[in-house]
């Protein structure tokens, strides 16, 4: 049985990946979807966390999964895609990388300075993006606010990730929503252009940022399952 590690986004929870996890499980994968530090508790808890906490948890989860399975893939949504790409650059045993609307392209310095000015003024959080999904009734379990300092640590990690991406030699699947109001689709282009491994692309024309919960989730799930089967030689 092959393995699959799925990683959720900033302020989110594994709930955003339940459908994809179920699809992979149904295809015969041993799936792990860890709750990242600071998530699923309180905004105040998340405000104390940094990139090192999240990547440490992701690495620990990967090592446990890889110890059980000879072949395994890693995937993620939004910041989870950032973490997944980092893992693929650091672990030579990743059979395949699947990213959904990953945060890869670092924000400009002027935006970071704006966030630092909010901190200096005593504001620790900014409003989070609205439930970015076109499917009526679909809801993401996530915090309504985004703590600033952890977000700045994510941006610093993106800077480093760009330098690491040429070390990603495994096959890569990149799923991009054409109408993402949280992460600009250019991040997917940056990822595709930087990795060394073969790249497959899927563009979802009717989905917003939370593609795993959106109207084309069946298409997304089928594509990820097919990719994971091929790179692990499963099924």
| Domain positions in the chain | 3-230
Model confidence pLDDT, tens digit, residues 25-78: 999 999 999 999 999 999 999 999 999 999 999 999 999 999 999 999 999 999
Q: What pLDDT score does 218 carry?
A: 98
Half-sphere exposure of 159 (CA within 13 A, CB side): 10
Distance in angstroms between the alpha carbons of the first and the last residue of the chain: 9
Model confidence pLDDT, tens digit, residues 75-129: 999 999 999 999 999 999 999 999 999 999 999 999 999 999 999 999 999 999 8
pLDDT at residue 234 is higher than 70: no
Q: What pLDDT score does 235 carry?
A: 45
Helix H, strand E, coil C: the string for the chain is: CCEEEEECCCCCCHHHHHHHHHHHHHCCCEEECCCCCCCCCCHHHHHCCCHHHHHHHHHHHHHHHHHHCCCEEEEEECHHHHHHHHHHHHCCCCCEEEEECCCCCCCCHHHHHHHHHHHHCCCCEEECCCCCCCCCCCCCCCCCEEEHHHHHHHHHHHHHHHHHHHHCCCCEEEEEECCCCCCCCHHHHHHHHHCCCCEEEEEECCCCCCHHHCCCHHHHHHHHHHHHHHHHCCC
What is the average pLDDT value for the chain, to the nearest integer?
Answer: 96
pLDDT at residue 139 is higher than 90: yes
- Report the distance separating Cα 83 and Cα 112, nearest Å: 20
- pLDDT classification of 7: cutoffs 50, 70, 90: very high
Model confidence pLDDT, tens digit, residues 188-227: 999 999 999 999 999 999 999 999 999 999 999 999 999 9
pLDDT at residue 166 is higher than 60: yes
pTM comes to 0.96
Q: What pLDDT score does 151 carry?
A: 97
**CATH superfamily, region 3-230:** Alpha/Beta hydrolase fold, catalytic domain (3.40.50.1820)
């Amino acid at each position: 049985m092959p393995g699959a590690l799925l990683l959720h986004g900033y302020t989110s929870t594994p709930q955003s990946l339940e459908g994809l996890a179920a699809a992979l499980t149904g295809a015969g994968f041993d799936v792990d979807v860890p709750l990242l530090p600071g998530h699923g508790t309180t905004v105040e808890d998340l405000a104390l966390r940094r990139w090192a906490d999240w990547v440490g948890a992701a690495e620990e989860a990967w090592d446990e999964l890889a110890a059980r399975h000879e072949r395994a893939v890693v995937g993620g949504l939004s910041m989870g895609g950032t973490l997944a790409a980092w893992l693929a650059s650091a672990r030579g045993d990743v059979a395949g990388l699947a990213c959904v609307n990953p945060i890869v392209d670092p924000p400009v310095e002027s935006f970071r300075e704006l966030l630092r000015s909010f901190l200096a003024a005593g504001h620790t959080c900014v409003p989070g993006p609205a439930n970015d999904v076109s499917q009526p009734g679909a809801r993401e379990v996530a915090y309504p606010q985004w703590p600033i300092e952890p977000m700045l640590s994510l941006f610093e990690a993106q800077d480093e990730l760009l330098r690491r991406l040429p070390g990603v030699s495994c096959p890569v699947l990149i799923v991009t929503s054409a109408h993402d109001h949280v992460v600009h689709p250019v991040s997917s282009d940056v990822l595709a252009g930087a990795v060394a491994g073969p790249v497959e692309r899927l563009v979802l024309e009717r989905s917003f940022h939370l593609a795993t919960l959106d109207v084309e989730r069946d298409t997304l799930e089928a594509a990820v399952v097919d990719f994971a089967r091929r790179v692990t030689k499963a099924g």
